[in-house]
Structure 1
């Protein structure tokens, strides 16, 4: 890591973004802002437009699932499209995290790992909403088909926690291995807490009711809260790491 001389004559680490062009800093700031846009679009499309707060019970019959999608069918489908567009932005936010954390550590392994896993997780945070949109495409068709697509969509929405668990664990390792002044240590432990909070939804396919169902306490409410809290912590942190001015910092 580049060093600069402090007033006392001792070597101190230079700002991790020293020497970056103004355009790079601006682009990083744009990518960071895709994070809150991502989660707001997903929550708005799923919970407000589609009205899936909480999600329909996994115990519904095929006919009852068809009735769910017949109620404001196009609005629900439009909500899923908004979710898909918002969920795709998770990849750009992940890229911002990877680039910025890479500048803060001499080791590239974990930042690259975080980025690859986060982009992979974006598939499960976007494609699942298209499946739900298809579930509402022909709600007057065979109930079994509508129910299958409905079940697949909701299971893929809440159950694939493994990529996100690994991503947040990698972020924690990066922070714990970097110099103390760059990122507070509590952010690492917070990422581990979020990762653990996302483990229970992995068991959603095994339960149709109870706390581990996709509308239960451990399968829905707690994961939604910790996932939203993750954005509330990470976005301000990343913005503070960037220089206040868009002027490039001098390289030492």
Structure 2
């Protein structure tokens, strides 16, 4: 019994030492769920961007929307400007695991670059446009409507960079012989590519499933994105647990 207890204690001690050796990775991993939780709070209850308000409204209705939610929009998007860097840490953790794969590091660099470019129209434009609309509420309603359209078309319709990001990620997983992430995650990523392309008609339709608040352009893509993020968080945790503390990752 004493020998068994000692063996178990030794295993726990070695596990603790391994975790301390990967403390930086665990800090980055915890940023991931915290950031996306804040992201949800900002975009859903505070700013009302998710689900998106209707595109088929008049300038006066848009002005009334900003008047009704001015304070929470300022709080929400002001908070976004503070925490937006958390997304970079989360994406860097994904790129770190990609560099452990038996593929060229170009895949990881491409993944980071597409997100860096896509995050500007896909996230920051919406925040800046909404904050600008609430900054001077006495502006011409037509200008307020212009900011409203820019924000939501940018947020829902920023397609190319994100579709490329998901495709790069899927190809990296398929080509990896080290099995850092399971192949089924690549198929989830490919579904993300499909949903990005299905949102392309938001620039044409103001009503129906292909409008920016439609069942296909928004709700379907958002549901699959939620699954994607949940799977990614869980799989990154497993990847960090399996990763040797003294492993050298290629530059």
How does the TM-score come out when normalised to structure 2?
0.83
Match of 2:15 in 1: none
Cα RMSD between the aligned structures?
A: 2.4
Q: What does 1:1-252 align with in structure 2 at a 5 Å threshold?
A: 25-123=22-120, 124-179=122-177, 181-243=179-241, 248-249=245-246
Match of 1:11 in 2: none
Distance 2:98 2:166 in 1: 13
Q: CA deviation at 1:130?
A: 1.6
- Contact 1:45–1:82 under 8 Å retained in 2: yes
Distance 1:110 1:53, change over 3 A: closer
- Contact 1:98–1:111 under 8 Å retained in 2: yes
Q: CA deviation at 1:83?
A: 3.6
Distance 2:145 2:247 in 1: 59
Q: Which runs of 5+ in 2 are unaligned?
A: 1-17
- Contact 1:135–1:146 under 8 Å retained in 2: yes
Distance 1:102 1:244, change over 3 A: closer
Secondary structure of 1:242's match? helix
Secondary structure of 1:229's match? helix
Structure 1 or 2: more helix by fraction = 2
Q: Report the number of matched residues.
A: 230
Secondary structure of 2:229's match? helix
Distance 2:162 2:156 in 1: 11
Q: CA deviation at 1:244?
A: 6.8
Secondary structure of 1:125's match? helix
Q: Which runs of 5+ in 1 are unaligned?
A: 1-19
Q: Could you tell which deviates more after superposition, 175-184 or 53-62?
A: 175-184
- The one-character-per-residue Cα deviations of 1:212-249 (angstroms, maximum 9, x if unpaired) are 1111111211121122221101111111111379x834
Secondary structure of 1:243's match? helix
Secondary structure of 1:134's match? helix
How does the TM-score come out when normalised to structure 1?
0.82
- The one-character-per-residue Cα deviations of 1:2-26 (angstroms, maximum 9, x if unpaired) are xxxxxxxxxxxxxxxxxx9966x32
